[in-house]
Structure 1
């Protein structure tokens, strides 16, 4: 069993955190990841409200294991009462990302939660640590979903670890971790845990239509694009510095690189995307995912996925120790 300071503080059996994926990452997936020995994270979207947090956090908490919640700070001003529900949820870890975390740290600590923040540069990592964040999530540009990073996970992880050397903040790696080898690599580099998202998209407990899970299962490593077209098309006010990595589809192929034209046709695009999401038509609707989709080849229960990742990571770390003996 691999133990780190973070796993000990949170009472985890495995150094794996489930990414707070808005959409797939509802209470059921959160609970399943925690029950399997990792830390499940409830994904709160920019469209979620306080009732959503209350209801889904109750599902996550019902398993009796520690769980977490991930927030999008840029949208919080338009979500009245939501942060109060987060503080009352009993979450062991709350990630406050995509904005300045400084005003959220104290109330979360008072609520008994550790505070995490996702960063995309060493400078952001240092600022987060100075703000009192307990866990810095170094998310590279190869991550699925939204990210402000321009370099990959391993280069970013190395720069963040060096920048925070001597700091009390713990570092978690995120982006493209889809196998035990990947998990072993970030742990060997010094990360306290790996944050895993795409590998869980086709999990039995993940929310989402069967057609979306099939798309992930069928995808290869080269089938993603880092783009803003899904946000522009849907009329979402995501800050432009945070594009999203998603599976390529007809909508992305048509509009990526033509964002100004898409803004002009935004009303039609919004209708198209909304209808496609309802219909499960992922030639148009978005599926945020990383190149780790390459490693998703069947629908599996979360427990099987996490056990395999952890066992493989232990095997590869043991092989490294043997080389050094």
Structure 2
């Protein structure tokens, strides 16, 4: 594998970050990714207490390798205990994305913690650099979970690489060694990968949800705000979510104003989440989900990305 800023800064074997996936990626998955030679991250749900952050950070740190934590900037003003907990446990990397990162970058860096921000447009990448982040994640609209869907990964990555001087990682639609090789060849310092890990037993997703991921095809996702509106979540409207398409999404897409006032639909979704009814409940996943075809361990997934080095070596100059 080529050595990059990412592998050098965090002593990684593979230039790969396991994206922070709130709700399915806790300390166990982060530890598994880090232990395999990538950089695992704990995804922090917006309502999680600071104690949860502390507990899951301890699980992630048990690998003995660097790890990270992903925070949602829009949620921190109402739940500052999350940020205080992160400062106390001092992970190697913290992502503060989807909102105003400026109040948090300075304290994190003063604590010796590297800071990342996920950017869905070139303007967001420039703003993150001005805020003083260590690394920008160019996250294209193909990515699973929340983020912008304004620009696809490849055009966004090219633009961001030209626009900022800090290191850049690529995110969105990268699920195999070929994808990692492609973004490294373009100039990224590594990949930020979530969907590729959704079939792993180390996630907190129930077996039925993992099977839905494995059965999904490349056209099986949809992007929008249906699930956020139904759950009354305060996500900023510019950051919709990409998830597996299901009957609940299809019923309410385009009717979000009506959905916001429908208590029956809210209760239906909450019940489906409890009962594991994924024709109604949400499973966040990106457009690379069609490449996730069988259940593997996180270590197997990380090892598969290492083949990017062989792909890149095809173009190495002869001695």
Q: Tell me how far 1:149 sits from its aligned partner.
A: 3.6
Partner Cα distance (1:139, 1:7) in 2: 20
Alignment check: 8 A CA contact 2:14 2:305 kept? no
Taking the TM superposition and a 5 Å limit, the aligned residue runs for 1:98-177 are 98-164=98-164, 167=165, 169-177=166-174
Taking the TM superposition and a 5 Å limit, the aligned residue runs for 1:35-46 are 35-46=35-46
- Asked if residue 269 in structure 1 is aligned to residue 259 in structure 2, the reply is no
Alignment check: 8 A CA contact 1:49 1:80 kept? no
Taking the TM superposition and a 5 Å limit, the aligned residue runs for 1:255-266 are 255-265=252-262
What is the SS of the residue equivalent to 1:297?
A: coil
Partner Cα distance (1:43, 1:112) in 2: 20
* CA deviation map 1:130-176 (0-9, x unaligned): 11100100000111011124110000000000001xx2x11000001
Alignment check: 8 A CA contact 1:119 1:125 kept? yes
* CA deviation map 1:17-68 (0-9, x unaligned): 0010001110000000000000001001111110110111110011111000
CA RMSD of the aligned region, Å? 1.2
- Asked if residue 321 in structure 1 is aligned to residue 309 in structure 2, the reply is no
What is the SS of the residue equivalent to 2:2?
A: coil
* Aligned match for 1:218, one of 215, 219, 227: 215
What is the SS of the residue equivalent to 2:315?
A: helix
Moved over 3 A (4+): none
Q: Tell me how far 1:257 sits from its aligned partner.
A: 1.4
- Asked if residue 291 in structure 1 is aligned to residue 287 in structure 2, the reply is yes
Alignment check: 8 A CA contact 1:121 1:149 kept? no
Taking the TM superposition and a 5 Å limit, the aligned residue runs for 1:1-325 are 1-164=1-164, 167=165, 169-265=166-262, 267-311=263-307, 313-321=308-316
Q: Tell me how far 1:80 sits from its aligned partner.
A: 3.4
TM-score, normalised relative to structure 2: 0.97
* CA deviation map 1:216-239 (0-9, x unaligned): 000001000001000000111111
Q: Tell me how far 1:264 sits from its aligned partner.
A: 2.3
Tell me, which stretches of 5 or more residues in structure 2 are unaligned?
Answer: none
